[in-house]
A and B are shown apart, each in its own frame.
Chain A
Amino acid sequence: MAQASPALPPGISLRGSAARRRRETIVRAVFLGAALTTVVISLFIIETVLVEAIGFLAQIDLSQLIGIGWFPRRGIFDVATLVIGTLIVTVIAMLIATPVGLASAIYLSEYATPRVRRTVKPILEVLAGIPSVVLGFFALTVITPGLLKPLFEDANAFNLAAAGIAVGILSVPLVASVAEDAMRAVPRNLREASYGLGARKITTSLQVVFPAAVSGIVAALILATSRAIGETMVVAVAAGAPQARTLNPLDPGGTMTSAMVLLASGSDQVTGNTAAFQSLFFIGLLLFIVTLVLNVLGDAFVRRARQRY
Chain B
Amino acid sequence: MSTIGSSSTTTTASVRATLAGGRRGDLPGTVFQVLLLGSLLFSLAVLAILVADVLGRAIPVFAERGLGFLTSPLSSNPAKAGVGQGIIGTAVLGGIVALLAFPFGLMTAVYLEEYAGDTKITRFIQINIRNLAGVPSVVYGLLGLSVFVAFMSAIGDTGSGRNIIAGGMTLAVLVLPIVIITAIEALRAVPNTIREAGYGVGASRWEVTRMLVLPSAAPGILTGTVLALSRALGETAPLILAGAVLGSFSGLNLSTLFSGSYTALPVIVYDWSRKPGDAFRADAAAAIVVLLVITLVANGIAILLRNRYERAW
Point out residues on A near B: beta carbons under 8 Å: 16, 20-21, 23-24, 27-28, 30-32, 34-39, 41-42, 44-45, 48-49, 52, 99-100, 103-104, 106-108, 111, 120, 122-127, 129-138, 140-142, 169, 172-173, 198, 200-202, 205, 223, 226, 229-233, 236-237, 257, 260-261, 264-265, 280-281, 284, 287-288, 291-292, 294-296, 299
Assuming A35-B108, A44-B147, is B130 touching A107 (CB within 8 A)?
A: no
| Residue in contact with B53 in the complex, picked from A129, A141, A226, A296, CB distance below 8 Å | A141
Q: Who on chain B is nearest to A260 by CB?
A: B138
Point out residues on B near A: beta carbons under 8 Å: 19, 21, 26, 28-29, 32-33, 35-40, 42-44, 46-47, 49-50, 53-54, 57, 103-104, 107-108, 110-112, 115-116, 124-125, 128-132, 134-143, 145-147, 173, 176-177, 180, 202, 204-206, 227, 230-231, 233-237, 240-241, 246, 266, 269-270, 273-274, 281, 284-285, 288, 291-292, 295-296, 299, 303
| Residue in contact with A131 in the complex, picked from B26, B107, B204, B266, CB distance below 8 Å | B266
Inter-subunit contact B236/A299 (CB<8 Å): no
Inter-subunit contact B139/A49 (CB<8 Å): yes
Closest 5 CB pairs between A and B?
A230-B136, A131-B234, A34-B107, A295-B134, A31-B111
Task: With both chains docked as a complex, state the minimum distance between the C-beta of B271 and any C-beta of chain A, in angstroms.
Answer: 8
Inter-subunit contact B36/A257 (CB<8 Å): no
Inter-subunit contact A127/B295 (CB<8 Å): no
Inter-subunit contact A260/B241 (CB<8 Å): yes
A28-B205, A172-B43, A295-B130 known; 13 new pairs, CB 8 Å cut-off, are A16-B202, A35-B112, A35-B125, A37-B104, A39-B128, A45-B135, A131-B235, A138-B49, A231-B136, A237-B273, A260-B241, A292-B134, A295-B131
In angstroms, Cα B138 to Cα A287, docked, is 9
| Residue in contact with B137 in the complex, picked from A36, A45, A230, CB distance below 8 Å | A230
Inter-subunit contact B108/A127 (CB<8 Å): no
In angstroms, Cα B46 to Cα A100, docked, is 12
What are 24 A-to-B residue pairs whose CB atoms are below 8 Å? Answer: A24-B204, A28-B115, A28-B206, A30-B107, A31-B110, A35-B112, A39-B128, A41-B176, A99-B39, A103-B35, A111-B37, A125-B303, A129-B227, A131-B291, A131-B292, A133-B236, A137-B269, A202-B33, A237-B274, A260-B237, A281-B142, A287-B138, A292-B135, A295-B130
Inter-subunit contact A257/B132 (CB<8 Å): no
Chain B neighbourhood of A231, CB < 8 A: 136
Chain A neighbourhood of B281, CB < 8 A: 141
Task: With both chains docked as a complex, state the minimum distance between the C-beta of A168 and any C-beta of chain B, in angstroms.
Answer: 10
Inter-subunit contact A134/B134 (CB<8 Å): no
Inter-subunit contact B125/A36 (CB<8 Å): yes
Inter-subunit contact B206/A284 (CB<8 Å): no
Number of A-B residue pairs at CB separation under 8 A: 250
Task: With both chains docked as a complex, state the minimum distance between the C-beta of B29 and any C-beta of chain A, in angstroms.
Answer: 4
In angstroms, Cα B38 to Cα A287, docked, is 35
Task: With both chains docked as a complex, state the minimum distance between the C-beta of A159 and any C-beta of chain B, in angstroms.
Answer: 14
The binding surface of chain A is classed by DSSP as: helix
Chain B neighbourhood of A45, CB < 8 A: 135, 139-140, 142-143
Q: Who on chain A is nearest to B52 by CB?
A: A142
In angstroms, Cα B241 to Cα A200, docked, is 54
Assuming A24-B205, A137-B284, is B138 touching A104 (CB within 8 A)?
A: no
Chain B neighbourhood of A287, CB < 8 A: 136, 138-139
In angstroms, Cα B184 to Cα A54, docked, is 37
The binding surface of chain B is classed by DSSP as: helix
In angstroms, Cα B218 to Cα A122, docked, is 22
Task: With both chains docked as a complex, state the minimum distance between the C-beta of B308 and any C-beta of chain A, in angstroms.
Answer: 15
Chain B neighbourhood of A202, CB < 8 A: 26, 28-29, 32-33
Chain A neighbourhood of B42, CB < 8 A: 100, 172
Inter-subunit contact B137/A44 (CB<8 Å): no
In angstroms, Cα B244 to Cα A76, docked, is 27
| Residue in contact with A127 in the complex, picked from B29, B46, B134, B291, CB distance below 8 Å | B46
In angstroms, Cα B35 to Cα A127, docked, is 20
Task: With both chains docked as a complex, state the minimum distance between the C-beta of B156 and any C-beta of chain A, in angstroms.
Answer: 19
Assuming A38-B177, A48-B147, A141-B281, is B270 touching A236 (CB within 8 A)?
A: yes
Q: Who on chain A is nearest to B38 by CB?
A: A103
Q: Who on chain A is nearest to B105 by CB?
A: A34
Task: With both chains docked as a complex, state the minimum distance between the C-beta of B97 and any C-beta of chain A, in angstroms.
Answer: 15
Inter-subunit contact A169/B43 (CB<8 Å): yes
Inter-subunit contact B240/A265 (CB<8 Å): yes
| Residue in contact with A111 in the complex, picked from B33, B111, B266, CB distance below 8 Å | B33
Inter-subunit contact B236/A200 (CB<8 Å): no
Chain A neighbourhood of B130, CB < 8 A: 295, 299
Inter-subunit contact A260/B141 (CB<8 Å): yes
Inter-subunit contact A291/B108 (CB<8 Å): no
Chain B neighbourhood of A230, CB < 8 A: 135-139
Chain A neighbourhood of B204, CB < 8 A: 16, 20-21, 23-24
Q: Who on chain A is nearest to B146 by CB?
A: A48
Inter-subunit contact A134/B39 (CB<8 Å): no
In angstroms, Cα B205 to Cα A28, docked, is 9
Assuming A133-B270, A229-B136, A295-B131, is B234 touching A142 (CB within 8 A)?
A: no
